[in-house]
Amino acid sequence: MADLQRRNFPVIESTNANPVLGNARLEELTSWDANWAGLRVLVVGIGVSGFAAADTLIELGANVVVVDGKDTQETQAKAETLKIVGATEVLLGPAAMTQVPKVNGDPAELVVTSPGLRPDQALLADARQRGVQIWGEVELAWRIRQRAGRKPADWVCITGTNGKTTTVQMTETMLQAGGLKAIAVGNVGTPILDALRDPVEYDVLAVELSSFQLHWQYSLSPLAAVCLNVAEDHVDWHGGFHEYMADKARVYQNCQVAAVYNVADQRTLHMVEEADVVEGCRAIGFTAGHPEPSMLGVVDDLLVDRAFLDDRRNHAFELASVTDLKPVPTVHGVANALAAAALARAAGVSAEDVGHGLRSFEPGAHRIQPVAKTHGVVWINDSKATNPHAANASLSAFDPVVWIAGGLAKGTDSHDLVAQHSHRLRAVVLIGTDNANLVDALTRHAPDVPVIGALQTDSAGSAAPEDGDAVMRLAVNAALAVAQDGDTVLLAPAAASMDQFKDYAHRGDAFTQSVADVVERLS
């Protein structure tokens, strides 16, 4: 973007420019009413987004084959449903994921992939070799948003290593407080395609986008967008941190009104500087400190807007108080609220309604969620802290801490996290099966802090590593044994959950239930 001071960063250039151009038919498919009939499409994955993509394409009249690597009762049930509504074929099991099958006897013209599949997955690699375009759900959704007789909803898009779900839900609440028909969609749970097919004609979609989803989109042009922060995460999927950051930066491409960046994370500003945006799009910063003009920030414990007003050099709009944040005001929470406010203001919501929305917002579970207090010990569930950057936000909010941590590291490094917070650690209780880096970090930077392996403690029985619920019961009891009056027992694993749990929600639920059992036993 113009008029921003350049910094000494490498150029952010995605390696995923659409590899196949010149397919005249696909280039014409830019609305619901385009000629989708007979298009030969392979949908890869039958999960939430894959099912929605297949269902939508069938409704559009395409010939659709669906494949999924899992052959389970769940996938079989979904397969039967798709066959009933008109899928040409559904193939399940590992063998279905090796190469692109034919559709109605002819080569596929398009592959629509679920976001979790790595770009080097065998079938996707085969598609590229055959010269078949690959889209994600986001690309498909953007192309069909235009529909005769309906005004297309504006999109405000949220990505970042951490804070996406909270921010997209805050944004939804603020937009609704401003009288707009709005819904949070995307990585937050509701597929974008489902919202587009909803009888409700939405004014704005608040779209949470993961780096996986952004990797497979090419045409998106949001009204406003934000990358909340960037830290090492999913480097195994992307092939490196630079590649991960480049895919995050795709959220700003073709941005129309406001490209919102984090003043505290200069890499997000660099993304905005490098982005090819629509002429007139403004760079809007947010900061937990005092805001400069064209920023949102904090003045005397008030959240304020110095961006969306004419006399921004001399005045600011009051939005809300820091104490309005729930459940616990943190620097991370302030940043999320200001980012959401910037998106809502870009969509035309008044400062007063932004404040109303923030005060009425109820955060979801597993995000710095107080679950109990017993004998002076506060128990906090932040299972959503699936990487070190997220765990840093919650560790910063409490002192002293008995920290329950560990899981799938995903190639991340915990040394800086432990070094920064070693002074506040009473003890560390380890869960998970991929903790070599975390253990090394604790050994180097917190050598005097007791480290308790949940599977090694015999204070409350034993558990198999794969039995997440039993492991969590052991971890909670181990934490109880060392916690003192005034401590916080904090589940903020700094790692993914799928080694011992279905997902982060299962991990958080297991923690909450184990804590409830402790409270009942002690009461």
Q: How many CB atoms lie within 10 A of CB 11?
A: 7
Closest to 187 measured CA to CA, from 254, 251, 242, 273 = 251
d(CA 110, CA 103): 10
Question: What is residue 5's predicted lDDT score, i.e. its pLDDT?
Answer: 36
What are the tokens at 417? Answer: 């996290």
Q: What is the 3-state secondary structure (H, E, C) of 445-502?
A: HCCCCCEEECCCCCECECCCCCCHHHHHHHHHHHHHHHCCCCCEEEECCCCECCCCCC
Report the phi/psi class of residue 430: left, alpha or beta, with left for phi > 0 and alpha for psi in -120 to 50: beta
Our separate counts of H helices and E strands in the chain read 18, 20
Q: How many CB atoms lie within 10 A of CB 462?
A: 12
What are the tokens at 204? Answer: 């704005």
- Sketch the domain layout of the chain as residue ranges: 24-140, 153-360, 369-522
- The length of the chain in residues reads 523
Cα angle: 504, vertex 510, 514; to 5 degrees: 150
pTM of the model: 0.78
Question: Which residues sit in the known binding site for ATP?
Answer: 160-166
Question: What is residue 10's predicted lDDT score, i.e. its pLDDT?
Answer: 47
* Per-residue confidence in pLDDT tens, the chain, 523 aa: 433 333 444 445 555 555 545 588 999 999 999 999 999 999 999 999 999 999 999 999 999 999 999 999 999 999 999 999 999 999 999 999 999 999 999 999 999 999 889 899 999 999 999 999 999 999 999 999 999 999 999 999 999 988 898 899 999 999 999 999 999 999 887 899 999 999 999 999 999 999 889 999 999 999 999 999 988 666 666 567 888 889 999 999 999 999 999 999 999 999 999 999 999 999 999 999 999 999 999 999 999 999 999 999 899 999 999 999 876 678 888 999 999 999 999 999 999 999 999 999 987 778 888 889 888 999 999 998 998 988 988 898 899 999 999 999 888 899 999 999 999 999 999 999 899 999 999 999 999 999 998 665 444 455 676 788 999 999 999 999 999 999 999 999 999 998 899 899 999 999 999 999 988 888 6
Question: What is residue 91's predicted lDDT score, i.e. its pLDDT?
Answer: 97
d(CA 261, CA 229): 8
Question: What is residue 458's predicted lDDT score, i.e. its pLDDT?
Answer: 44
H helix or E strand, kind and range, residue 391: helix 388-395
CA 185 to the chain's CA centroid: 11
Query: Which residues are bridge partners to 103 per DSSP?
Result: 106
Are the beta carbons of 110 and 133 closer than 8 angstroms?
A: yes
Are the beta carbons of 88 and 81 closer than 8 angstroms?
A: no
3-state secondary structure (DSSP) of residue 377: strand
Give 362-410 pLDDT, tens digit per residue.
877 788 888 898 889 999 999 989 989 889 888 988 999 999 999 998 8
Are the beta carbons of 376 and 486 closer than 8 angstroms?
A: yes
Question: What is residue 22's predicted lDDT score, i.e. its pLDDT?
Answer: 54
Q: How many CB atoms lie within 10 A of CB 306?
A: 23
Burial class (CB in 10 A: 0-12, 13-18, 19+), 456: exposed
d(CA 62, CA 41): 7
β pairing state of 204-208 and 224-227: unpaired
- Read off φ and ψ for residue 518, nearest 5 degrees: -65, -45
d(CA 75, CA 205): 29
Question: Which residues sit in the known binding site?
Answer: 160-166
Q: What is the 8-class DSSP label of residue 188?
A: T
Is the domain spanning 153-360 CATH 3.40.1190.10? The answer is yes
Closest to 92 measured CA to CA, from 66, 118, 112 = 66
CB-based contacts of 447, cutoff 8 Å, min separation 6 = none
Q: How many CB atoms lie within 10 A of CB 273?
A: 21
Homologous superfamily of 369-522 in CATH? Mur ligase, C-terminal domain (3.90.190.20)
- Looking at CATH, the fold of the domain delimited by 24-140 is given as Rossmann fold (3.40.50)
Q: Tokens 């999960």 — which residue?
A: 47
Q: What is the 8-class DSSP label of residue 63?
A: E
